[in-house]
Amino acid sequence: MQMISSRIIPFIDVQTLAQGKVREALFRDENVGFILYLSDDARSSNTEERIIRLEPREALIWLNETAEDGGTFWS
């Protein structure tokens, strides 16, 4: 498995208005294809992590997201 790209996206929590960051990383696995790892970077037991399998087209969309569009795979 090879990491292709990663990024950190700042956000403001709607409920608490606290600043936070999410981490996203795109991996390529020869057997599975593309894997997107998402983590909300919380320093508590409530950390949310997701792993999403992406098709090549979706991986290209993720790679080409502008800074304003970052984080679209969280919804």
pLDDT in tens, 10-25: 877 777 787 878 888 9
C-alpha separations of 49 from 23, 31, 45, 57 in Å: 9, 22, 11, 23
- pTM of the prediction? 0.74
Structure confidence at residue 41 (pLDDT): 67
Mean pLDDT (the chain, rounded): 81
Alpha-carbon distance 19 to 41, whole Å? 11
